Amino acid sequence: MSATSATVTVALEGDRRYDIAIAAHSLQNLGAKLTEIGLGKKSKKVLIVSNPVIYKHYGETVATTLKNAGFDAISLILPAGERFKTANSLQKIYDAALNHRLERSSVIIALGGGVIGDMSGYAAATWLRGINLIQVPTSLLAMVDSAIGGKTGINHPQGKNLIGAFYQPSLVWVDPQVLQTLPTREFRSAMAEVIKYGIIWDRELFDLLAQCDRLDQLRYLSDDLLHTILYRCAKAKAEVVAKDEKEGDLRAILNYGHTVGHAIESVTNYRLFNHGEAVGLGMIIAGAIAVDMGLWSAAEQAQQVALITKTRLPQTLPADIDQAAIIDCLATDKKVEAGKVRFILPTAIGQVTLSDRVTTELINQNLRKILA
C-alpha cells in the first residue's frame, strides 16, 4: 500500500474555491475533514445519499466517521442506475432533507458514482436555494470526471441531463481504495475518460499510460500509477473548470470523443455500448478525422488507438449500424447552435482544437473504416 496523498484545488473565485483530496484509506477520516473545513459549526445535520451496493460496502465507514466527528447524519438509499436519475428520486432527497430538518448550513454527502453525485448535487443546489455539498466519488468515472466541476442534474423522461444546475461542492473526497469493488466494465469505461485527458490536456499522463502493458483491469495498475491517474485527471479537469466554469469554448474540450460517442450510444439505444465505450469509439473517429484533415499525425492516432485497445474498449462498430441515424443525431445534439456541429479534434497528444468544418462526408468515411 502506498502512503501517497495529494490535493488539487479547483481555483474558483472567493468562497467557491475547493479541494479535491486524494488519499488511500481516507474514507474513515471524512468526518474530521468536514470539521476542518468549517462544516458543523452552525448545523450538525448531514444527509448521506447513496445506493444499495455502495452503501453496503462503505456506508458504515462514512456513518461512523461522521458520528465520531459529532455530526448528526442520516442516510437515504436510492435504487442504483441511470434510469433512477429522475425527478422522482430527487423528490425523495427533498423529502429526506425536510424530515431530517436540514438547514442552510447543513450538508449533503453524495456517496456513489456519477448518478448519485449528479442527483445529490442537484438536490444540494436547490434545497433552500443551496446547501453544502460533499462529493465522495466511488466510481472511477466520478473520481476523474463527474464529481469535479459543478455540473449537477437529473434526466427528463425524454432526454439525459436536461434539468440541472451549476453548483460546486465544498470538497471532493477521493479514497482510491473503494475502487476495489468497482465492476470491471465500469472501470474500463472510465478509462476512456482517462485517455481523453491524456489527449486533450496532459501528454505526460498519456505517456505514463502508454508504458503499461495492460490497462483493462484495476489490478494491473500499481497503487502509485492509480494515484497518479487520479491526481492528473483531477488536475486537468480542475484547471479547465477554473478557467471556464460554464461551458465556454475551453470547457467544451472535455467533450472530446463525446459528440460522435453520444450519437453512437443513442443510435444503439444505450444497450450495446456504455458511455465510456462509446466515447472510446468517438475518440477513434475524431482522431481519424483530424488525421484526414491534416491536423494530426497518423502516428499519434495509432498511439491513441493502441491505448484504447490495451484497455479492451471496443474498437469497432456493428456492421449493420445505422450510419444515417448517427449523422442525424449529430445534427440535433443539444450543443449544436445554429445548425453547426462542432468537433473537438487533436492536433498533438495533449492538445486539441475546435472545428466546425468537419463534413458529413468525412464523418461517414471514418465511420465506415471501423465497421466490424
Ligand X SMILES: NC(=O)c1ccc[n+]([C@@H]2O[C@H](COP(=O)([O-])OP(=O)(O)OC[C@H]3O[C@@H](n4cnc5c(N)ncnc54)[C@H](O)[C@@H]3O)[C@@H](O)[C@H]2O)c1
Which parts are annotated binding residues for NAD(+)? 114-118, 138-139, 151, 160
161 lies in the site for ligand X, by CB under 6 A: yes
Q: How is residue 104 written as a grid cell?
A: 442552510
* Closest CA relative to residue 65, chosen from 33, 29, 41: 29
- Which residues inside 71-90 make contact with a second copy, applying CB under 8 A? 87
Report the partner that residue 80 touches, choosing among a second copy, ligand X, none (CB closer than 5 to 8 A by kind).
ligand X
Kindly report the CA angle at 176 between 175 and 177, in degrees rounded to 5? Answer: 90
> Annotated catalytic, 193?
yes
Neighbours of 311 (CB within 10 A): 24
With contact defined as beta carbons under 8 Å apart, do 99 and 91 qualify?
no
Three-state secondary-structure class, residue 327 = helix
> Annotated catalytic, 57?
no
Q: How far apart are CA 338 and CA 340, in angstroms?
A: 6
**Residues 6+ away with beta carbon under 8 Å from 183:** none
Three-state secondary-structure class, residue 45 = strand
Choosing from 85, 151, 310, 342, which is the catalytic residue? 151
Q: Which stretch binds ligand X (CB under 6 A): 52-60, 65-73, 225-233, 245-253?
A: 52-60
42 lies in the site for a second copy, by CB under 8 A: yes
82 lies in the site for ligand X, by CB under 6 A: yes
Total residues binding a second copy (CB under 8 A): 29
Q: Which residues does the annotation place in the binding site for Zn(2+)?
A: 193, 258, 275
> Annotated catalytic, 25?
no
Looking at the Cβ atoms of 151 and 342, the one nearer to ligand X is 151
Choosing from 235, 275, 310, 342, which is the catalytic residue? 275
* Closest CA relative to residue 36, chosen from 5, 84, 71: 71
Q: Using the Cα atoms of residue 245, residue 247, residue 251 and residue 257 in order, give the sign of their dihedral.
A: positive
Neighbours of 34 (CB within 10 A): 24
Neighbours of 198 (CB within 10 A): 25
> Annotated catalytic, 100?
no
125 lies in the site for ligand X, by CB under 6 A: no
265 lies in the site for ligand X, by CB under 6 A: no
Q: Which stretch binds ligand X (CB under 6 A): 63-71, 80-88, 98-106, 293-301?
A: 80-88
130 lies in the site for a second copy, by CB under 8 A: yes
* Closest CA relative to residue 147, chosen from 174, 125, 108: 174
287 lies in the site for ligand X, by CB under 6 A: no
Residue whose C-alpha cell is 502508454: 210
Looking at the Cβ atoms of 161 and 297, the one nearer to a second copy is 161
Interface positions with ligand X (CB under 6 A): 51, 53-54, 57, 80-82, 85, 112-116, 118, 138-139, 141-142, 145-146, 149, 151, 161, 178-179, 181-182, 186
Catalytic center residues: 129, 151, 193, 237, 247, 251, 255, 258, 262, 275
